[in-house]
A = this chain, B = another copy of it.
């Protein structure tokens, strides 16, 4: 303890000296950060470091000195003082409970986050990008283009419906006449067949729920087998609850911009588009809330929210690619 107190005092004295040196080197038109009495200043800096090394104030004082040090005209002086600054910062960061040492990480969430570079993937882990989006934000187009760029599969509601219909048909036929090649199984069977022998187990639930639970099963099964981009379907929450790594992104754009886009895409009049979007937003929110008990579109429910209007379609895709920082697959 005593050692630490002395270390703080030593660092405080060095910070005070650094400030003076920076002041001298910048030239007379710039003030010092510490204008008070030397002993008092060092004492208060040391106290700050000792009791609250993680505090705002210490970081700000240091940043201010650093900002000034960058403006030193003489290259040699500048390097020397920036080096001393970096060294002081390093030593402060080694103090117990220094600023920057209390992390914010949600271990469970980070472990599941496939954009987390430090995470060690097992060879069984897949790249799964869950995209939630508001209607009209071009989220669907962005997801489709992203899947294309990454050369991975793309799934949305329509595709799920088709896949599930085939599975149901397949399953019915399996139930009806094991292995019998009827008009369904030749035309509509599907190679995920084995996973869904139990497809009917939710029968008895309301249709909406049966669909949701079937989709959940399908998403979890696929997530163990292939890389893909998946649009909506509360896939983020489903994968989170099943502890399957993924990255969750929400794409949104200001309401006015979405209205403009829907007017162009759906050939709608202004009022019609406003009404339509409000209805769609409500429906999305209700669906998400019903199945996840969480608020749709609320930033902290996702790893990342992107304002597509700030980037446009193409740039948003590139931005996500850069973030994921995984080279496109070369399966093709």
Contact = CB atoms under 8 A, between A and B. Distances in A.
A113 B310 contact: yes
Interface stretch (A66-74, A122-130, A280-288): A66-74
Contacts of A254: 106, 300
Contacts of A187: 31-32, 35
B253 A137 contact: no
Interface string A117-161: 110000000000000000011101100110110000111111100
Nearest to A83: B332
A319 B323 contact: yes
A26 B142 CA distance: 28
A315 B66 CA distance: 24
Contact of A70 (B109, B136, B315, B331): B331
Contacts of A195: none
A265 B60 contact: no
Contact of A64 (B29, B67, B159): B159
Contact of A315 (B118, B140, B145, B261): B118
A49 to B, nearest CB: 15
Contact of A303 (B300, B311, B325): B311
A163 B32 CA distance: 11
A106 B310 contact: yes
A299 B252 contact: yes
| Number of this chain's copies in the complex | 2
B103 A138 contact: yes
A113 B311 contact: yes
A50 interface: no
A117 B31 contact: no
A1 interface: no
B306 A304 contact: yes
Nearest to A148: B89
A302 B250 CA distance: 13
A168 to B, nearest CB: 12
Contact of A305 (B118, B138, B140, B305): B305
B332 A105 contact: no
A300 B252 contact: yes
Interface string A75-101: 000110010000001000000000110
Contact of A299 (B64, B299, B314): B299
Contacts of A318: 117
A204 B219 CA distance: 62
A35 B183 CA distance: 11
A294 to B, nearest CB: 10
A100 B303 contact: no
Contacts of A2: none
Interface centre among A110, A158, A265, A299 (most CB of B within 10 A): A299
A312 B113 CA distance: 11
A162 B64 contact: yes
A203 interface: no
A140 B56 contact: yes
Given A64-B159, A105-B312, A110-B315, 6 more contacts: A35-B188, A63-B154, A102-B265, A113-B311, A304-B306, A319-B323
Which 5 A-B pairs give the minimum distances between C-beta atoms?
Answer: A105-B312, A60-B158, A305-B305, A106-B309, A104-B138
